[in-house]
Chain A
Amino acid sequence: MSDSLLVVEALTHRYGERTALSNVSFQVAKGEIFGLLGPNGGGKTTLFRVLSTLVAPSEGSVRMFGIDVVREQGEIRRRIGVVFQSPSLDRKLTVLENLRHQGHLYNLRGQELQSRIDQLLSRFGMADRKGDLVETLSGGQRRRVELAKGLLHKPQVLLLDEPSTGLDPRVRRELSDYLERLRDEDGMTILLTTHLMEEADRCDRLAILDRGQLVALSTPRELKEQIGGDVISVETRQPQPLAEQISKRFGIEARVLDGSVRVERTNGHKFITELVEAFPGQIDAISIHKPTLEDVFIHRTGRRFEEAQA
């Protein structure tokens, strides 16, 4: 990829004894929405901290715009916008005061700052709340002001940590729409972490992290296609023996997960008939669906996403 804006190479990070990231490498192209999907504790928050210059990694290199993130920290900070998971707005200040404070931290001032604030607030539909204290805003409104705050100094990359956490589905979709508009209209490169499949599905490309390792890297569509056809789950009283029999008979991998047997297979609808005929009386229920990102996670790690969260 010649137009890579972010290049992560062999990144490893340890907190004392614990390895949070292990040999992670990937690249992000200019103008794409790149998602880091993973269960909590999977390493995506550590990766986010490294990318946002809060933490210097133990090993490996991270380059943005061709610049080393650790060595040229100041330069990187001027060129990235960061939106954190926990709110970074001062609730005792008004929307305008918060944004002005942020602008001053980036050495913006006067008319330039004022027009930039007005422009962003009207873009996010918050112009009429300018003079209100942040504590009087709703969760979705605060998130929009956070977004405006992160974009104030015209960053070339926007980093968002779990942007949808705590938002209801409608506000979540609205946020995704805003991000897509930023990409399409401004050519913004966006990198976000998430543990929500729905949000990950809307990314241009995805890196899936589990236990500090990169387990998959591609577009959501390709990842799902790699599974090969359909996902079939079989409900039965004795899943383990049935799984073994299925493997033996059809020469395919059958996994036991949460008491049911899972098989990935092209032309699943036909395979269902074969299965039911091959094991009469052993199958209580059978279902088929197109692969989701959840299936991709299971495929790559052998565990359910929720299981990995715990």
Chain B
Amino acid sequence: MSTKAETNYFLLPAFTLWWREMVRFFRQRDRVMGALGTPLVFWLLLGSGLGKSFSAPVAPEGHGYLEYFFGGTIVLVLLFTAIFSTISIIEDRREGFLQAVLVAPVGRFALVLGKILGGTTLALIQGLVFVLLAPLVGISLSVESVIWLVVVMFLLAFALTGLGFLLAWRMDSTQGFHAIMNLFLIPLWLLSGAVFPPSGAPAFMRWIMMCNPVSYGVIAIRHGLYWNVPQATAGMPSRELSLVVTAVFAAAMFLLSLKAAQRTTRGDLQ
């Protein structure tokens, strides 16, 4: 394979794979509902239900659970969108669409990038819609905080879609993916500080939460939501650290997905 030819066959294929994700998503209304509606319901029910029982040790006075859970819900929106868009890899493989892409002169780099950027864009759009609800819970947004949030949500969505790609690439059934979603992806989110702060958790759990890269995405989002309220994020890792960890998480997921896609799997043959 010559390098020059590979470059020529890179941008347009990556773009067209990305574009297909957009068209498919907006044509399937139920997916919009699933990715945005479910977290919204979770947030309202859990947020209001647990409101009274929850005493946030880290949040200052007047910040209830509905507000604490808000940042975590944004991450859930990103996670759900990432999951739904990578499930389509399994469907593409099963229905036959993927095989035509695999015999086209498209490098796997373009394939992985197009697919992951597609999921990332969709997650980012929905995350942003949710962010705009922030003033409802008394969080005031500024230009800086929205820019920060866009960058962080992009990186985190990219990482989560990459993780989904990595898991979905070798699978031949969507049922298998649902099992992984329930046993691995949702716990990853539960143990990220999205639902409860590490301070109140047992030591071993705190340790897991510290190692969980998603935690740093949640923290980075909190930094964005409380851009001008430093006391709300007191005791958490810094803005810089949370951003760097999230960026490394994204890069690592991309590279692992690329590596997985470059190996021929049995599934390629179906």
Contact = CB atoms under 8 A, between A and B. Distances in A.
Contacts, number: 81
Contacts of B99: 54, 84, 86, 88
A105 B268 CA distance: 18
B147 interface: no
A117 interface: no
Interface stretch (A70-78, A237-245, A255-263): A70-78
A82 interface: yes
B27 A92 contact: yes
A97 interface: yes
A49 interface: yes
A52 B1 CA distance: 16
Given A90-B24, A104-B16, A53 B5 contact: no
B12 A104 contact: yes
Interface in A81-125: 82, 84, 86-93, 97, 100-102, 104-107, 109
Contacts of A88: 96-97, 99-100
Contacts of A86: 95-96, 99
B105 A106 contact: yes
A39 B98 CA distance: 26
Contacts of A89: 97
B243 interface: no
B102 interface: yes
Nearest to B12: A104
A298 B12 CA distance: 51
Contacts of B12: 104-105, 107, 109
A102 B100 contact: yes
B103 A54 contact: yes
A77 B96 contact: no
Contacts of B19: 101
Nearest to A97: B23
B103 A106 contact: no
Interface of A: 49, 52-56, 73-75, 77-78, 80, 82, 84, 86-93, 97, 100-102, 104-107, 109, 149
Q: Which 7 A-B pairs have the closest CB atoms?
A: A104-B16, A86-B96, A88-B100, A105-B104, A77-B105, A74-B1, A88-B96
30 contacts: A52-B103, A54-B99, A55-B264, A56-B264, A73-B1, A74-B2, A74-B6, A74-B9, A74-B105, A77-B103, A78-B105, A80-B103, A82-B100, A82-B103, A84-B99, A86-B99, A87-B95, A88-B96, A91-B95, A92-B28, A93-B24, A100-B16, A101-B16, A101-B19, A101-B20, A104-B12, A104-B13, A106-B9, A106-B105, A109-B12
Contacts of A100: 16
B264 to A, nearest CB: 7
A116 to B, nearest CB: 15
B100 A84 contact: yes
Residue of B8, B16, B268 with highest tally of chain A CB at under 10 A: B16
Contacts of B27: 92
B190 interface: no
Contacts of A75: 5
A55 B267 CA distance: 12
Nearest to A104: B16
Given A54-B269, A97-B23, A106 B96 contact: no
Nearest to B111: A105
A105 B28 CA distance: 24
A107 B96 contact: no
B103 A53 contact: yes
Contacts of B102: 54
A90 B95 CA distance: 9
A84 B9 contact: no
Contacts of A87: 95-96
Contact of B268 (A54, A80, A101): A54
B101 interface: yes
B106 interface: yes
A143 B203 CA distance: 60
B104 A106 contact: yes
Contacts of B24: 90, 92-93
A87 B95 CA distance: 7
A44 to B, nearest CB: 14
A272 B103 CA distance: 54
Interface in B202-240: none
A107 B264 contact: no
